[in-house]
Chains A and B, each alone.
Chain A
Amino acid sequence: MAKQSRSGNRSHPVVLRRDDLDRLIGLLLQRGFAVIGPTVRDGAIVYDRIDALAELPAGWTDSQGPGNYRLERREDKALFGYASSPASWKRFLNPPTQRLLQIERRGDTYELQADTEAAPRYAFLGVRACDLTAIALQDRVFIGGPYRDPGYQKRRASLFVVAVNCGAPAATCFCASMGTGPAATSGFDLLLTELIDGEHRFLVQTGSDAGAELLDQLPHRPAEPADLASADALLAHAAAAMQRSLQGDGIKDLLYARAEHPRWQQVATRCLACTNCTMVCPTCFCTSVEDTSDLHGAAQRWRKWDSCFTESFSYIHGGSVRTSIAARYRQWLTHKLASWWDQFGSSGCVGCGRCITWCPAGIDLTEEVRALREPEVEADRHGH
């Protein structure tokens, strides 16, 4: 039975120096973790394999807006001074392409083999509160139902999470109104709050025995009231700086009842059904299964990310059920904000704002919800 560490638990946060974060990364690597963290590549801050602190996006921030993403230099050297990445952590826990099984011909019979490849043990560095909630939501989908995905279960069981509190929300963020941030509250092994007033340091709280044990291996000092005050101020500032909000009251019944609202037709004039939103959304989980075979008598079954925005998504003999883009947009939004409640007991949206940023048409779901709350008026049918 693991002992409850005294240092770093919720009631006794500690402080880590900036450079000691490199030692944290080193320790994780030593223990065989593949460390995934933020790094600058191709004009964006993406989550990928990192080996050292030097690879983190020091002094970078992201400027986001509807259909808009740009990196900008900060005046300081904050390591986590940005909001969100184009892709989320889901591509590690639920990879875009997974081989499910191989089937080989053996005479007049076939041999089935599930993929038992060992997944790397991941350590995520820099998970925001919104993304922590998203991981918990995907846990409900993949390992919380009557049928569990063994691959996800394996990857999830060995996961180590270093979360980071948010100090600089992007213009497209709305986690505060979704109740999912900016402060992280659970789902992490370690929680960092980056403080750069005075010494560049991190306030560290543990969220698990594993986190506490790792923290014990790093030099740290107890947090002082000034450190705590700094952290609180940062979070308060982040919450107040949110530029968007999504009103969730009664949203489920509203969306169910407004399936024929003219707004769906209106958004369909802008939506390209490009599927970007579903790719960047940290909770979207739809997949498809593809069959391939080679000339030597072997076949494979592959699971791949899919999107409800494609026309073939809802295909049954004779045609697809959702042929219009209006119906497909409606399916996505209704599933995310309404059906998710009936299916999984919570909203499916974590307020990360990625769908707003990465939509080429700049469609903003907070705006769509606002419009859908308007009563259906005849005038709306003309697209006003």
Chain B
Amino acid sequence: MQSADPMLPQAARVESVRRETHDTLTLQVSPLAGEFQRFQPGQFSMLYVFGVAELPISISGDPETCPPQSYTVRSVGQATAALVAHQPQAWLGVRGPFGRGWPMQQARGRDLVVIAGGIGLAPLRPVLYQAFRHRGDYGRVILLYGARSPEDVLYRQELRRWEQQPNTQVLTTVDYGGLNWRGNVGVVTTLFRRVRLEPAQTVALVCGPEIMMRYVALELERRGVEQKNIYLSMERNMKCGIGLCGHCQFGPAFTCKDGPVFSYDQLEPWLNKREI
């Protein structure tokens, strides 16, 4: 249960670890006592690595089969490297879930167009779990996924499974194909030509590097999807996750509590201003 002191982590343990790629790992985490608070797709937790740091990590698992709770982490610096080095039985501190998640309610009865870039697929995976668990609640499901190279493609088995779902399209592309890749090559925006969008019916959920999200949003707009139906998950420096440290501000919004998911009409005035 969330403690009365929002800066006090809940003690947890890594139950299992799944290596996704050469630098990315999914940790399955369970509380030592009590329960984790149920999360919404798109929310994140602050994960505390003893003596090292606390990091905001998106929850990448299925809200309905929690615990254990999944976190997919890519090693890019000292703190993430420490997390990625965690073995089963390793101890962890967890605070959360925090933030505003994906608009699953608004998307009911409409087409879910999910566009992911790189590790951006991790915070979107809970959306797909929920959509396929309650398939009848949503219209068509289209997943467009771009990765750096074939070695960086996440959740391969699940991608194949999701492809088999009714009324569902899954298209994957890589920036660099290498010698043996037999699939699409090109940035994720090139996949748009391959799907038929019904703009008025579409709720688009986008997650990936900020540059990628800007171009994808432009592409969606070009294809007639209204700004208020496009959602992006933003990323900023976070020290507390609860709107008190001030670090995560993006314009007037606190990424940790007004986001990380924002609608494009809220973001658009700020996204192309430099150094906001």
Contact = CB atoms under 8 A, between A and B. Distances in A.
Direct A–B touching, Cβ under 8 Å: yes
Interface of A: 100-101, 103, 105, 108-110, 112, 114, 141-142, 145-150, 256, 259-260, 285-289, 291-293, 299, 301, 303, 306, 308, 313-318, 321-324, 327, 331, 335, 338-339, 342-343
Contact of A114 (B5, B53, B245): B5
Interface stretch (B17-25, B147-155, B248-256): B248-256
Contact of A287 (B239, B252, B254): B239
Contact of A147 (B6, B9, B52): B6
Given A112-B9, A314-B236, A324 B257 contact: no
A105 B9 CA distance: 15
Interface stretch (B102-110, B175-183, B192-200, B268-276): B268-276
Query: Which secondary structure dominates chain A's binding surface?
Result: mixed
Given A103-B50, A147-B6, A148-B6, A324 B275 contact: yes
B91 A109 contact: yes
Interface string B37-62: 00000000000101111100000000
A70 B39 CA distance: 56
Given A145-B243, A148-B6, A316 B252 contact: no
Contacts of A293: 50-51
Contacts of B52: 291
A150 B273 CA distance: 37
B86 interface: no
13 contacts: A103-B50, A103-B93, A147-B243, A147-B257, A150-B5, A287-B240, A314-B237, A316-B235, A317-B80, A321-B276, A324-B275, A339-B249, A339-B252
A150 B54 CA distance: 20
A148 B6 CA distance: 7
A291 B252 contact: no
Contacts of B32: 109
A289 B76 contact: no
Contacts of B251: 256, 339
Nearest 10 pairs between A and B by C-beta? A293-B51, A286-B246, A327-B275, A339-B252, A147-B242, A299-B51, A342-B252, A147-B6, A259-B273, A114-B8
B244 A146 contact: no
Nearest to A260: B273
Interface of B: 3-9, 11, 32, 48, 50-54, 76-77, 80, 89, 91, 93, 235-237, 239-240, 242-247, 249, 251-252, 254, 257, 269, 273-276
A291 B237 contact: no
Contact of A322 (B5, B257, B275): B275
Most buried by A among B11, B76, B93, B275: B275
Contact of B11 (A110, A303, A308, A324): A110
A318 B118 CA distance: 15
A327 B89 CA distance: 44
A327 B235 CA distance: 18
Query: Which secondary structure dominates chain B's binding surface?
Result: loop
B53 A291 contact: yes
A148 B251 CA distance: 23
A306 B50 contact: no
Contacts of A105: 50
Most buried by B among A145, A289, A339: A289
A288 B244 contact: no
A72 B8 CA distance: 48
Nearest to A288: B239
Contacts of A322: 275-276
A287 B236 contact: no
Most buried by A among B4, B11, B54, B239: B239
A317 B53 CA distance: 14
Contacts of B48: 301
B199 to A, nearest CB: 29
Given A287-B246, A288-B247, 10 more contacts: A110-B50, A112-B8, A112-B9, A146-B242, A150-B5, A292-B51, A301-B54, A321-B237, A327-B276, A335-B249
Nearest to A308: B246
Contact of A259 (B6, B240, B276): B276
Contact of A338 (B51, B53, B252, B257): B252
Most buried by A among B89, B240, B254: B240
B275 A323 contact: yes
Contact of B244 (A141, A323, A327): A141
A220 B109 CA distance: 73
Contacts of B245: 286-289, 306
A299 B275 CA distance: 35
B273 A314 contact: no
A336 to B, nearest CB: 11
A67 B6 CA distance: 39
A293 B257 CA distance: 30
A343 B240 contact: no
A293 B53 CA distance: 11
Contacts of A259: 273, 276
Nearest to B256: A147
Contacts of A288: 239, 245, 247
A114 B276 CA distance: 34
B246 A112 contact: no
A112 B10 CA distance: 8
Nearest to A113: B8
Given A299-B51, A327-B274, A342-B252, A110 B240 contact: no
